[in-house]
Every structure is written in C-alpha cells, then in structure tokens.
Chain A
Amino acid sequence: MSNLFGFDGGDTWLHHLSGATKMLAFVGISIIAMASYDLRFTAAIMVMSLILFYQAKIKWSQVSLVVKIITAFSLLNLITVYLFSPEYGVQLYGTRHLLFGSGYLTVTSEQLFYELNLLSKYIVTVPLALIFLITTNPSEFAASLNKIHLSYKVSYSVALALRYIPDIQNVYHQISLSQQARGYELSKKAKFSQRLKGSAQILMPLIFSSLDRIDTVSQAMELRRFGRKKHRTWYMDHPFAWQDWLTLAGTAAIILIGAWLFKVNGGRFYNPFR
C-alpha cells in the first residue's frame, strides 16, 4: 500500500473538486448529521451520498473491506448500547410501546427507533468519506487547506503526515525485514508470542529512526527555505471552480435544513410517537 488515501486518479466531477471543498462539505455534513436525531433528514443525506458514490464510479472491490469493518463496528456498538440501556429510547421519547420481552431486556419501538437513528449516524457519512478518500489527491488536499486559510505550516504538517504514513509503514516493513534477515523469525513460521515480541522490538528502532528523520528532514526543508515567507505557493494547487462554490452552497443548504428541522421538531429529536 503506497497510498493511504487509496487515491485513484479518475475523471468524474468529484475528482475535479478541490480537496478543501470536499473536506468542508464532509465536516459540515458530518457535524449536522451528528447533531440531528431526525431520521428523515439523515436518511435523505444517506440517499444523496449514495447517489454521489455512484457518480464517483468507485468499484466495490476498492471499498468492500472497509465497509465490512464499519458494519461490524456499528453492530457491535448498537448491541452494546442496547445491553447497557434497553429502555433509553423510552426515556428519550417519553412514550413506551412494548413489542416483546420482559424484565431488563425489553424491546420497545422507541428503543428500535433510537437505535435506527444511531445506526444512520454511524453510516450516513461513510459513502462521503470513501468518496473523499478515493477521489482526493493528497498533495492537492494539503494545498487546498492552505487556501481556506489554515496556516501553511499546519497545512504542510498534514501533507507531511500523508506523505509519511506510507513511508513509515514502509520503514516498519523494512526494519522488520532487515531484522528477519539478521535471524529473527517473524514470518508465519514463528509462534504467535514470538511474533508479538518481535513487532515490539521493531517499534523502538522505528521510533528512534523517525526522530532522526525529523532532524534531517527539517534540516533539508530549512535548506530550501521552508518557513521563510508569510505565503507559499503550491505545485499541486488547483483553482476553485464554480463546481466548488456550488458544492459549498449545497452543503450550506443542507446544514440550514438540518437547523430548521431543530426548530420544527422543537429540539434535536424527531419524535414520531407523539
């Protein structure tokens, strides 16, 4: 894996959007979806993000693994919530429609509805996140962060993080290989406990070589004048186009609708039981 973002240079309008636009849209939508407990609203967002997902022409094989992990994680969380507070929905919505069960483990419509809301929150932005990961060029992304007035030093840290995740994974791999080449068995042929110990052994050199690297890389950057001026330009910069403005306007509209629903519902919760 040489590219964390799984970036795949395609040619849809989503690929051409600026990284910052996509990030702002993602953050905006994920925050309003996080705040809202109106299933109609989150479901609508879900439908929209699936349509976008389709438009980005992403192949199922590119995302199947992460979708499976997310499903498992969401189910686990829903079950935990139920086990801890089977009547939490009743408490929130103020009515009680018992479906079945008795004693502690009861199942009510309110609880089911509440958990459905939770589920929609867990997954509503997933297609958007995947779109972001697959259609955003990491370098362009860093450049675009700077354009939305994040300080260029912070933007560059983000760029460096993205640059070094695959690199350090690689270093981890290299150190592991070179340890094995010196006689440390870490392949499937070793016992599990030995492999565990082995990976711990790799961490130290990994961390310490990274500290050295911080020094040499910052020296190399200073030699090429990073930090000298108040501004810098970006090789991978990409001008904002009307699609960007339109996307941002759309995002703002969604946020406004979400906020308006707060008012209509008299709070964060949409309550169908009353």
Chain B
Amino acid sequence: MAKNKQSSNELFSVRTVVAIGIGTAIIFILKRWVSIPTGFPNTNIDTSYGFLGFMSVLFGPVAGFIMGFLGHALNDFTQYGTPWWTWVFTTGLVGGVIGLFWKRLDVSKGDFGKKKLIGYNVVSGLTNLIAWAAIAPTLDVLVYSEPANKVYIQGLISAVSNIISGAVIGSILLAAYAASRTRSGSLKKED
C-alpha cells in the first residue's frame, strides 16, 4: 500500500510556496481589475477577500497570512505608491486567522456539506467583522492619527462588503472546488 505522501498537509511545503506565489498574483489581479460596485458611493465588493478565504482554507494559516499581506501590499504599492500598512497587515491577519481552521474545514476530499458551509461562514464572517470594524480603524487612529469617526465608518463599510465577499464568493469557490474533486475510484470508461 502506498502511504499518501502528498505534502499538502505541511505548513510550509513546496506546494505552499507555490500556492503563496500564485495566490498572491491572483489577489493582486482581483484587487486591481475585478471589483463589483455595491451601489454605495466609493465602495466595492472586493472579490479578493472571497478568494483569500478560499485559499486560506485550502493552504493554511502561513499561506493565508503571507498571501493576504503580499497581495494587498503589492497592490497598494503599485497603485498608490505607498502601502497603507495598517490595512495591509489586517488583510494578512484575515487570511492567517481563517487559515487556522483549515484542518477542520478540509474540503480536499470533496465534502463541503451544510456543517462546513456554516462553519466557514461563521469563521470568515467573524474574522472580517473584527478585522475591519475594530482592528484596522484602531490601528489607523493609532498609527496615522486620522479622525476616528472617518476611519470607523470606513472600517464598517469595508467590514460589510468584505463579509459579503468572503461569504458569497468564498462559499461558491469552496463548493465548486469540493465538487471538482473526483471521488476516488469513480472514473470508468463508458461505452
């Protein structure tokens, strides 16, 4: 019998390295080109948060943190000339925290039932809420000394839109991924 030596369960395998690289690239591109207007002025549903949640569940906390941090930093850097460090860090945190639950939410065997669906949405929802409504704006006040009411409102709007992105897009991706996993022993030639 073959031992399953697939390295996907290690925290920092070669596969994680590649996942970080490619994941970061996709986050960057999603942030840059693919945002859905919410209808509120100046707010977008940033699709990258759904993707980040998805990737963190697949590849774990280390990958989640680095991907979020790097993707956000690169985007800010090339778009605005200055990474907004507080938010960059918070994005990393979101990926990292969701990633902590990767073992529990494991979908690689193709099962993403009601329990995991709810589990993922609770984790992603709470993480995004705390991160954007509390952590990011507080850091902004402390570090950048911006007016509190402005940053907390910004934070709240981002929290709402990122929770939606995380929930909707993350769940769709996880479900699609689980469905694409072929169950073992299922492929047969048919006439």
Interface residues of chain A, those whose CB is within 8 Å of chain B, are 4, 30-31, 34-35, 37, 66, 69-70, 73, 76, 80-81, 84-85, 88, 92, 118, 121-127, 129-130, 133, 153-154, 156-161, 163-165, 167-169, 172, 199, 203-204, 206-208, 210-211, 213-215, 217-218, 221-222, 226-227, 268
Contact = CB atoms under 8 A, between A and B. Distances in A.
Nearest to B54: A207
A81 B78 contact: no
Contacts of B26: 168, 206-207, 210
Interface of B: 12-15, 17-22, 24-26, 28-29, 33-34, 42, 47, 51, 58, 66, 70-71, 74, 77-83, 85, 143-147, 149-150, 153, 173, 176-177, 180
B83 A158 contact: no
Contact of B15 (A66, A126, A214): A214
B85 A31 contact: yes
Given A34-B143, A35-B143, A214 B19 contact: yes
Contacts of A169: 29
Given A4-B78, A157-B24, A157-B66, A85 B150 contact: yes
B24 A129 contact: no
A160 B18 contact: yes
B78 A157 contact: no
A254 B29 CA distance: 34
15 contacts: A30-B83, A34-B144, A66-B78, A66-B81, A81-B147, A84-B149, A122-B82, A125-B82, A133-B77, A160-B22, A164-B24, A207-B51, A214-B18, A217-B22, A218-B14
